[in-house]
Structure 1
Amino acid sequence: MSKRLLPLLILALAVAGFLLLRMTRPEPAAVTATERSWRVEVQVVEPGRHTPVLPLYGQVVAPEQLTVTATLAGRIQARPVTEGQRVTAGELLVALDEADIRPALAQAEAQVADLSAQIRSEQVRYANDREALGSEQAILANARRQFERTRALVERNLASRENLDAATDTLARAELTVSTRQRAIDEHPARLQSLQARLAQAQASLEGTVRDAARARVTAPFDGVITGVQVAPGDQVARNEPLLGLYPVQGLELRARVPEVFRAELLAALARGDALDATAVDNSQRFRLVRFAGVADPAGTDAILELVGEPAGLRPGAMLPVLLQRPARKDAVMIPFSALYGADSVYLMNDDDRMERVTVERIGEAPAANGERQLLVAGDRLEAGVRLITTHLPNAITGLKVEVAGRLLQPGNGAPGQ
Structure 2
Amino acid sequence: MRQFQVILRNSSVFAILIGLLTGCSEPAPQALTAPGLPEVGVYQVQSQSLAQVTELPGRTTDFRQAEIRPQVSGILQKRHFTEGQQVAAGELLYQIDPAPYQAALATAEANLSRAQAAATNAEQRLKRLQGLLASQVVSQQDVDDARATLLQAAAEVQAATAQRQVAQINLNYTRITAPIAGQIGRSLVTEGALLTANQSEVLATIRQLEPIYVDLTQSSSELLQLRRQIQHHGQQIVSVSLELEDGSQYPAQGELQFSEASVDPSSGMVTLRAVFPNPDGLLLPGMFVRASLAQAGQTNAVLVPQAAVKRLPKGATQVLVVNNQQQVEARQVTLGRSYQQYWVVQDGLAAGERVIVAGLQKVQPGAQVNAVAVQE
Note if 1:78 corresponds to 2:78: yes
Name which of 196, 202, 220 aligns with 1:238.
Answer: 196
Does residue 327 of structure 2 align to residue 347 of structure 1? no
- What runs of 5+ residues in structure 2 fail to find an aligned partner? 1-37
Partner of 1:265: 229
- 1:289 matched residue in structure 2: 255
Do the aligned partners of 2:260 and 2:272 also contact (CA within 8 Å) in 1? Answer: no
Question: SS state of the match for residue 262, structure 2?
Answer: strand
Q: CA, structure 1 residues 86+44, in 2 after alignment: closer, same or farther (shift >3 Å)?
A: farther
Q: Could you say which residue in structure 2 is the equivalent of 1:171?
A: none
Distance 1:204 1:99, change over 3 A: closer
1:254 counterpart residue number? 214
2:290 corresponds to which residue? 321
Task: Give 3-state SS (helix, strand or coil) of 2:296's partner.
Answer: coil
Please say if 1:226 is aligned against 2:184. yes
TM-score, length-scaled by structure 2: 0.67
Which residue matches 1:356? 331
Rounded to whole Å, the distance in 2 between the matches of 1:121 and 1:403 is 119
Q: Which amino acid aligns with 1:197?
A: Q
Give the AA of the match of 1:89. Answer: A
1:104-146 deviations in Å (ceiling 9; x for gaps): 43344334333323323433443465577678x448xxxxxxx
What is the DSSP-based 3-state SS (H/G/I as helix, E as strand, rest coil) of the residue aligned with 2:64?
coil
More strand by share: 2
How far apart, CA to CA, are the structure 2 residues paired with 1:382 and 1:201? 82
Q: Sequence identity of aligned pairs in percent?
A: 18
Q: What is the rounded CA distance, in whole Å, between the counterparts of 2:44 and 2:127 in structure 1? A: 107
Partners of 2:305 and 2:357 within 8 A in 1: yes
CA distance in structure 2 between the partners assigned to 1:340 and 1:187 by the alignment: 100
The separation in 2 between residues aligned to 1:374 and 1:292, in whole angstroms, is 32
Q: 1:106 to 1:182 in 2, by over 3 A?
A: closer
Structure 1: runs of 5 or more not aligned: 1-36, 140-177, 367-372, 411-418
Deviation at 1:196, TM superposition (A): 4.0
CA RMSD of aligned residues (A): 4.2
Residue 88 to residue 202, structure 1, CA distance change in 2 (3 Å): closer
Aligned partners of 2:203, 2:368: CA distance in 1, in Å? 73
- Does the alignment pair 1:279 with 2:254? no
Q: Distance in 2 between matches of 1:78 and 1:402?
A: 91
Matched letter for residue 212 of structure 1 = Y
AA at the equivalent of 2:348: R
Partner Cα distance (1:200, 1:130) in 2 = 29
Q: Counting helix residues as a fraction of each chain, which structure ranks higher?
A: 1
| TM-score for both structures, normalised by structure 1 | 0.61
What SS does the corresponding residue of 1:201 show, helix, strand or coil?
Answer: helix
Distance 1:69 1:116 in 2: 36
- Would the alpha carbon gap of residues 378 and 181 (structure 1) be closer, same or farther in structure 2, given more than 3 Å must change? same
